[in-house]
Amino acid sequence: MTEDAPARPDGAERVDASFSGADRPSATIYDTCIRCGLCLPSCPTYLETMTETSGPRGRISLIKAVGESRLDLRSAGFAEQMWQCLDCRACEAVCPSGVRYGQLVETARTQIRRAVASGEPPRKRAIRRLLLHTLFLRPRLMRTVANLLRFAQRTHLIALAGLAGLARAAKLAPRVSRSFFVAADQCFEAPTPQGVAFLHAGCIMPYAFAQVHRATVRMLQRGGLSVRVPRAQGCCGAIAVHAGDMDFARRLAKRNIEAFEASGADVYVVNAAGCGSALKEYRELFADDESWADRAATFSKRVRDVTEVLDALELPEPSRSIDATVTYQAPCHLVHAQRIANAPRRLLRRIPGLRLVEMSESALCCGSAGIYNLTEPEMADRLQRRKVDAIRATHATIVATANPGCAAQVAAGLRAAGTVATVKHVVELLDEAYG
Ligand code: SF4
Ligand code: SF4
């Protein structure tokens, strides 16, 4: 039996494995759930299955049951529900009791991974290891893979990916940029600088969304911020946190904290919602580490999504109009985790000619969720189709969003449905409007 497992409240015999050691779901958090069910209509997996255990309330009950030694941590049903959850945090955003659901599911996954290597199915483990420990950690390897992928996409050799068992990854992969934008100690000066921004480059953005980085730099300059892109930064660790690999996430986080401290920048700007959410939560990631807690808390206070920054700056009026119907897909980690709902819409409404039409369920997860669309293909596809249907109903020709995962997932869904609408980052549209 696990040493730290608490006695069962009903006095019955304890199960073999409960939570133990660091990074466990907090009883203070799961006991805050009053089982009201107000979160259920916001939960994508509940809406798709209409099953209690596939919703937040059911998952919290499962976590509590393991915490109270009524359910074995290694049980298949527990692992299945922890991995089926998208960690989209929609439940957290609407909960009247303030249940911090993200902390529960992320630490529950960490506990499962530590308790039993087999707690994670082999296919998921292989994908996680390949992406996290191999690809995202080695920029040179990432560049080589991006070059190969770009060649395959341009020559249509991508159709052969199925022979290597990579058909799904090839289908979902974003189109690789013509020229990359990697962090290489670049300095972009504003004409009359009022501050300095650190631009978070990320793992995928430099290779598949380089144009978003360039647009971000130009927009920040227009707003009076000089921009630094230090080479010493790296992956934010979001995918590691979602995969329950907290120790690895901390390793990655330390690089970014050190890089920001050394940069002398005033604000840490992020144009990928998933990364921004993870970076703002370094404070929680290091809460129990005396030597890093203060540095992480100071760092997190300075992190801002680019839409927050631009919305707060005094920008001149855009000089060009964009004559198009646009709908906005709210990334979960912007709207639910960071609670930024209006800034992207306000920025879009500044653009002359642009007609912003709201889609239904704009804030419902599109099924991307980090590497969820690779590890949970069936549910990811269902949510992707649901999102594409909502977009098509608006007749928009452009889908605006603010996260690379959403952009890739929505674009793949639109392609599969034969819809010609394009997907752009809010900042790309703004940059176009400023000429
Ligand atoms: S809304 Fe909050 S308190 Fe109510 S069931 Fe969901 S998690 Fe529990
Ligand atoms: S994080 Fe998302 S998928 Fe998971 S329980 Fe909450 S709303 Fe449902």
Cα 338 to ligand 1 centroid, rounded to whole Å: 19
Residue nearest to atom 5 of ligand 2 (CA): 56
Query: How far is Cα 409 from Cα 156, in angstroms, rounded to an integer?
Result: 20
Residue ranges of the alpha helices (H) in 85-136? 90-94, 101-115, 122-128
Lining ligand 2 with CB less than 6 A are 42-45, 56, 59, 85-91, 101
Residue nearest to atom 8 of ligand 1 (CA): 33
Query: What pLDDT does 400 receive?
Result: 98
Query: What pLDDT does 13 receive?
Result: 53
Cα 389 to ligand 1 centroid, rounded to whole Å: 29
Residue nearest to atom 8 of ligand 2 (CA): 43
Residue nearest to atom 7 of ligand 1 (CA): 33
The model scores a pTM over 0.85: yes
371, 138 Cβ separation under 8 angstroms: no
Cα 63 to ligand 2 centroid, rounded to whole Å: 14
Query: What pLDDT does 244 receive?
Result: 85
Per-residue pLDDT of the chain (435 residues; tens, 9 = 90+): 344 444 544 455 555 689 999 999 999 999 999 999 999 999 999 999 999 999 999 999 999 999 999 999 999 999 999 999 999 999 999 999 999 999 999 999 999 988 875 456 676 677 667 766 777 777 788 888 888 888 888 787 666 666 556 677 777 888 899 999 999 999 999 999 999 999 999 988 999 999 999 999 999 999 999 999 999 999 999 988 988 889 999 999 999 999 999 999 999 999 999 999 999 999 999 999 999 999 999 999 999 999 999 999 989 999 999 999 999 999 999 999 999 999 999 999 999 999 999 999 999 999 998 889 988 999 999 999 999 999 999 999 999 999 999 999 999 999 999 998 999 999 999 999 998
Query: How far is Cα 382 from Cα 219, in angstroms, rounded to an integer?
Result: 36
Query: What pLDDT does 135 receive?
Result: 76
Q: Any idea which fold 318-433 has?
A: Rossmann fold (3.40.50)
Query: What pLDDT does 168 receive?
Result: 76
DSSP state of 144: H
> CA separation (Å) from 298 to 226, 231, 238, 294?
21, 21, 19, 6
Domain locations in the chain as residue ranges: 27-118, 318-433
Which of 86, 97, 104, 335 to mutate to test ligand 2, by most ligand atoms within 8 A of the CB atom? 86
Ligand 1 pocket, residue 99 CB under 6 Å: yes
Which of 81, 88, 333, 382 to mutate to test ligand 2, by most ligand atoms within 8 A of the CB atom? 88
Query: What pLDDT does 1 receive?
Result: 37
Q: 227 by DSSP, 3-state: which? A: strand
59, 53 Cβ separation under 8 angstroms: yes
217, 227 Cβ separation under 8 angstroms: yes
Ligand 1 pocket, residue 35 CB under 6 Å: yes
Which of 30, 35, 52 to mutate to test ligand 1, by most ligand atoms within 8 A of the CB atom? 35
**Which strands, in side-by-side order, build the sheet including 325-328?**
355-356, 325-328, 398-401, 422-425
| Smallest-distance ligand from the CA of 42 | 2
Which of 36, 89, 103 to mutate to test ligand 1, by most ligand atoms within 8 A of the CB atom? 36
Cα 99 to ligand 1 centroid, rounded to whole Å: 7
359, 389 Cβ separation under 8 angstroms: no
| Smallest-distance ligand from the CA of 105 | 2
Ligand 1 pocket, residue 95 CB under 6 Å: yes
Ligand 1 pocket, residue 140 CB under 6 Å: no
Burial 398-417 (b: 16+ CB within 10 A, else e): bbbbbbbbbbbbbbbbbeee
| Smallest-distance ligand from the CA of 44 | 2
Domains 27-118 and 318-433 share a fold: no
Query: What pLDDT does 3 receive?
Result: 40
In this structure, which CATH number among 3.30.1020.10, 3.40.50.620, 3.30.43.10, 1.10.1060.10 belongs to the domain 27-118?
1.10.1060.10
Query: What pLDDT does 25 receive?
Result: 97
Ligand 1 pocket, residue 202 CB under 6 Å: no
Which of 48, 49, 82, 91 to mutate to test ligand 2, by most ligand atoms within 8 A of the CB atom? 91
Ligand 1 pocket, residue 79 CB under 6 Å: no
Residue nearest to atom 2 of ligand 1 (CA): 95
Ligand 1 pocket, residue 97 CB under 6 Å: yes
Residue nearest to atom 6 of ligand 1 (CA): 39
- Closest C-alpha among 185, 184, 161, 191 to residue 173: 161
Phi, psi of 199 (to 5 degrees): -95, 125
- Closest C-alpha among 23, 41, 191, 3 to residue 107: 23
Ligand 1 pocket, residue 91 CB under 6 Å: yes
